[in-house]
Amino acid sequence: MKDGPAIANVAALIGDPARANILTALMAGKALTVSELAQEAGVTLQTTSSHLSKLLGGGMVSYRKQGRHKYFELASHQVAGTIEALMGLAADSGHLRTRTGPRDEALRSARRCYNHLAGTAGVQVYESMVRRGYLTVDAADLSLSTAGRVFAENLGIDVVRLSKGRAPLCRECLDWSERKTHLAGSLGRALLDYMIADGWVKQDATSRAVSFTARGRTLFNDIFPVLDAV
Amino acid sequence: MKDGPAIANVAALIGDPARANILTALMAGKALTVSELAQEAGVTLQTTSSHLSKLLGGGMVSYRKQGRHKYFELASHQVAGTIEALMGLAADSGHLRTRTGPRDEALRSARRCYNHLAGTAGVQVYESMVRRGYLTVDAADLSLSTAGRVFAENLGIDVVRLSKGRAPLCRECLDWSERKTHLAGSLGRALLDYMIADGWVKQDATSRAVSFTARGRTLFNDIFPVLDAV
DNA sequence: TTCATAGTTCGATCATAGACGAAGCATAAA
DNA sequence: TTTATGCTTCGTCTATGATCGAACTATGAA
């Protein structure tokens, strides 16, 4: 056998069920400890430790040490993007168990993607903002207009602070269930944070799904109305 | 261990060295027989056959039967895109052997990506056309302007016929070596076909690299000049 | 028909690497 | 200090699956 191309290494890294569980758990964007990841993956602590060192060696994850805890997270947005691409492939190619049960329905409807809102709700946010001119799409760049800035600040989001951060303020992110663009970047993150803080949504403890409260859904549709394309 | 997520299946499929070799061979866009793929992967015919049936089951490849030959190709553009994403990950995360030797240099310079031109030359085509307004980038859509249409038709490309096809005329494709956009879609394919037919480039028999002839390079730089951004 | 080539299926072999128990570090609390 | 918790390392077991030889099917050529 020829020495396999580099691609095989990283794919094999993702291809193990336990590691895939770890990575999908990290897709939510929250940093998790080894123990928490062991729980998610359904294997013992030792096994998880071994998997994490492999993922680390492959540049898929990074960690911060804090006291006697080790918080792992995805190494880059590129990693997250690649995993989303694989999810997209897995979704249609074969094994149609992705559309089974109400829980997956919930996932398709609204979920965290890395750290922002995805699913139909995420797409609704994006399109609603684009169509009102709050977000302007230019070449491959997405930016917040003056009107959009006012809009965000009315929600109590500190745009100035966000735009000083290292992460881009607005970024497009392709939704694997909707196959449409939704809003990522620090603004996307801030919007989801806001919805959580203001009690619009509740996060599912075991999955990436988020569910709207009755009040939250009303406010959501009010503030991010579905509009026709121009 | 929890039953692994669907993503693990498809990643594991790509994660085997022999299968990764098969898939990267198919990335060139040409349909290949089982024997040819066995050659590429460096394993026997039986082993290749087994791998291909797995890839087929996973929806990664498809085939056409022709006489006693079976021509395999990538099942969709989505598959190709996912593999490119993995290549991107493999490129920076660790193992810096991507920049070894002149052959890889050739690959970075100009190669086929699925069916169109990629590498620095591919990026040059794209940027040159965008900056002259032949291609217009709008939201996530790429389209050919009237001026661009005239330009393409002057090269003898039948734009009308292309735009009737099922494939989109212009599509963006992220270059894994350059990390910039290059031109895909049926127009991208037609341009590469033109360069081959007119003897601008010669295809490497064993890799995805393409090399310019002296005349071809001159014409190329003439027709797709490097321009400054607006 | 016979022969040759393309590809598949079967069966056996064998290496890899994923799993966990047990023991060892390291950090923090008591 | 002692004790508890979080994580790592080591060693062993085991199952999976990649591989190839050999035999089989299918298509085409002579």
Asked whether the beta carbons of residue B140 and residue A181 sit closer than 8 angstroms, the reply is yes
A214/chain B closest Cα distance in angstroms? 31
Mean pLDDT of chain A: 81
How far apart CA A25 and CA A28 sit, in angstroms, is: 6
B168 within a domain of the structure (yes/no): yes
Is the CB of A8 inside 8 Å of chain B's CB atoms?
yes
> Is residue A207 within 8 angstroms of chain B, CB to CB?
no
Q: Could you tell me the distance in Å between the CA of residue A26 and the C1' of nucleotide C6?
A: 46
Taking the CA of residue B191 as centre, how many other CA atoms within 13 Å lie in the half-sphere pointing to its CB? Answer: 27
- What distance in Å separates the CA atoms of residue B22 and residue B74, rounded to the nearest whole number? 10
User: Is there a single domain that holds both residue A15 and residue A58?
Assistant: yes
Within a domain: B129: yes
Q: Last residue of a domain, which of A59, A75, A91?
A: A75
Provide the positions of strand D that have an atom within 7 A of a protein CB: 5-10, 17-23, 26-28
Q: Is A65 in the same domain as A110?
A: no
The reply to whether residue B5 touches residue A24, judged by beta carbons under 8 angstroms, is: yes
Residue A199 sits at the chain B interface (C-beta within 8 Å): no
Q: Is residue A81 part of a domain?
A: no
User: For the segment B19-74, what is each residue's pLDDT rounded down to a tens digit?
Assistant: 999 998 888 767 888 998 998 888 999 999 999 999 999 999 998 887 778 889 88
pLDDT, tens digit (0-9, with 9 covering 90-100), for A56-76: 999 999 988 877 788 898 888
Residue B95, domain member (yes or no): no
Give the distance from residue B181's alpha carbon to the nearest chain A alpha carbon, in angstroms. 10
In a domain, A110, yes or no: yes
Alpha helices in chain A (DSSP H): 6-15, 17-26, 34-41, 45-57, 77-92, 101-109, 119-131, 146-154, 159-164, 185-197, 214-223
The tokens for B159 are: 């734009």
Predicted confidence at residue B128, as pLDDT, reads 92
B177 and B109 share one domain: yes
> Domain range for residue B187?
101-223
- Of all nucleotides, the one whose C1′ comes closest to residue A53's CA is D8
Q: Do A141 and A199 belong to one domain?
A: yes
Q: Which of A193, A209, A211, A191 is nearest to A201 (CA)?
A: A211
In-domain check, residue B87: no
> Does any domain span residue A190?
yes
Q: Which residues pair with B181 in a beta bridge?
A: B174
| Same domain flag for B124 and B179 | yes
Q: In this structure, what token pair is assigned to residue B135?
A: 């291609």
What's the structural domain count of chain A? 2
The pLDDT tens digits for B191-207 are 998 999 899 998 775 55
Q: What is the pLDDT of residue A178?
A: 57
- The strand pair at B171-174 and B69-74 is best described as unpaired
Of B60, B75, B90, the domain-final residue: B75
Residue B37 and residue B108 in one domain: no
Q: What is the ipTM of this complex?
A: 0.60
For residue B21, list chain A residues with Cβ-Cβ distance below 8 A: 2, 4-5, 8
Centroid of chain to Cα B79? 11
Q: What is the CATH number of the domain that holds A33?
A: 1.10.10.10
- Examine the domain organization and report whether A56 and A152 are in the same domain: no
Option in A3, A75, A94 nearest B59 (CB):
A94
CB crowding A149-176: b at 16 or more within 10 Å, else e? bebbeeeebebeebeeeeebbbbbbbbb
